[in-house]
C-alpha cells in the first residue's frame, strides 16, 4: 500500500468519531440517581417510584431533578439545599468508588480505537467528578477524550448542547456514531447528524427512540463489527 493511500485512509478516519454518554452509558448512573433522589425527597414526605421518576424528566442536574419531582406532586421545592448536597455527594461517591465500565461499551471502544478512530465521552457531571469517573472506568488509559460542555441546562443534552459540544471538540463536521440512553440525548444527537445507538435503561425504556439505527437492551447483544458496519459509513 502506498504512502498516499495510507494518508488518505488516516484522514478519512479522522473525519469519523464515536461519542457516548459517560455517566449513563458507560457507568449506569441513573439507578444511583434514582436511589439518591428517592432518599432526598423522602424528607419532604414524597415517596418516589420508578414511574414518577421517569415522568419527572430525569434532569442530570440534581437541583432541577429534585425540584421537578416535588413539583410533580404539588410539593414546595424551596429549602432543598441539603437534599441537593446529599444527592451530589452520593453521585460523587459512586463515580469514585463503585462505578464499573459497561462491558459491551468497552468492546466497542477497543474496536473503534483499533481503527484509529477517535472516541469521545460527554458528560453533565462537574469536571472534577467526571475526571475521577474517567479514571475509575479506565477510559483515560483507553484513549477516550472527555468533553466537558461549557453549560449544562436542566434539559441537557438537547440539540443545541450537541452542536456546542461538537464545535468545542472540533467534530461538528465528523461522521458520528453516538451511543445514548435517553430520548433527549437521542433526538439531540440525530439533529446534530449522528447515527444513534440507543441503550435505554429501566427508566428510559418507554421513551421514543425513533430515528436510532439500533435500540438495544445491552451493547453486549451485538458484536462491535455489526454496530460499526451499520453506522460508520466508511
Instruction: Provide the 3-class DSSP secondary structure of residue 214.
Output: strand
Beta strands in the chain (DSSP E): 16-21, 119-122, 145-147, 175-180, 195-198, 214-215
User: Among residues 77, 97, 117, which one ends one of the domains?
Assistant: 97
Structural domain count, the chain = 2
One domain for residues 215 and 129: yes
- Bond prior to 41 in cis (omega within 30° of 0): no
At which of 97, 126, 150 does a domain end? 97
Residues 90 and 185 placed together within one structural domain of the fold: no
For the segment 91-137, what is each residue's pLDDT rounded down to a tens digit?
A: 999 999 999 999 999 999 999 999 999 999 999 999 999 999 999 99
Statement to judge: residues 92 and 115 lie in one domain: no
Interatomic CA distance for residues 54 and 213, integer angstroms: 24
Better pLDDT: 36 or 234: 36
Instruction: Based on the fold, state whether residues 192 and 155 are members of the same structural domain.
Output: yes
Q: What is the pTM of this model?
A: 0.91
pLDDT of residue 233: 64
Quote the pLDDT of residue 29.
Answer: 96
Q: Are 27 and 20 in contact (CB under 8 A)?
A: no
The rounded percent of the chain whose pLDDT value lies above 70 is: 93
**Among candidate residues 24, 72, 29, 81, the one with its CA nearest the CA of residue 48:** 72
SS3 label, residue 153? coil
The stretch 8-15 carries a mean pLDDT of 51
The pLDDT tens digits of the residues spanning 145-201 come to 999 999 999 999 999 999 999 999 999 888 999 999 999 999 999 999 999 999 999
Please give the pLDDT value at position 1.
47
Residue 11: the pLDDT is: 43
For residue 5, the model assigns a pLDDT of 38
Whose grid coordinates read 445514548?
Answer: 180
In this prediction, residue 157 carries a pLDDT of 95
Residue 15, domain CATH? 3.40.50.1000
Full residue range of the structural domain in which residue 169 is found: 3-28+100-231
Give the residues across from 12 on adjacent strands.
none
Amino acid at each position: 500500500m502506498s504512502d498516499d493511500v495510507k494518508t488518505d485512509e488516516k484522514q478519512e478516519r479522522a473525519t469519523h468519531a464515536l461519542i457516548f454518554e459517560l455517566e449513563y452509558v458507560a457507568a449506569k448512573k441513573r439507578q444511583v440517581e434514582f436511589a439518591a433522589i428517592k432518599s432526598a425527597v423522602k424528607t419532604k414526605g414524597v415517596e418516589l417510584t420508578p414511574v414518577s421518576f421517569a415522568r419527572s424528566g430525569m434532569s442530570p442536574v440534581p437541583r432541577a431533578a429534585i425540584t421537578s419531582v416535588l413539583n410533580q406532586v404539588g410539593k414546595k421545592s424551596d429549602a432543598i439545599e441539603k437534599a441537593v448536597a446529599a444527592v451530589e455527594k452520593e453521585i460523587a461517591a459512586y463515580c469514585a468508588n463503585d462505578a464499573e465500565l459497561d462491558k459491551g461499551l468497552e468492546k466497542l471502544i477497543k474496536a473503534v480505537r483499533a481503527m484509529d478512530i477517535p472516541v469521545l465521552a460527554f458528560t453533565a457531571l462537574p469536571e472534577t467528578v467526571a475526571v475521577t469517573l474517567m479514571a475509575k472506568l479506565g477510559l483515560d488509559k483507553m484513549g477516550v477524550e472527555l468533553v466537558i460542555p461549557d453549560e449544562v441546562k436542566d434539559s441537557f443534552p438537547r440539540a443545541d448542547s450537541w452542536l456546542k459540544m461538537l464545535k468545542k471538540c472540533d467534530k461538528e463536521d465528523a461522521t458520528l456514531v453516538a451511543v445514548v440512553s435517553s430520548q433527549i440525548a437521542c433526538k439531540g444527537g440525530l439533529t446534530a447528524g449522528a447515527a444513534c445507538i440507543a441503550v435505554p435503561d429501566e427508566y428510559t425504556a418507554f421513551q421514543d427512540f425513533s430515528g436510532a439505527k439500533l435500540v438495544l437492551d445491552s451493547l453486549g447483544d451485538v458484536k462491535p463489527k455489526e454496530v460499526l458496519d451499520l453506522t460508520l459509513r466508511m
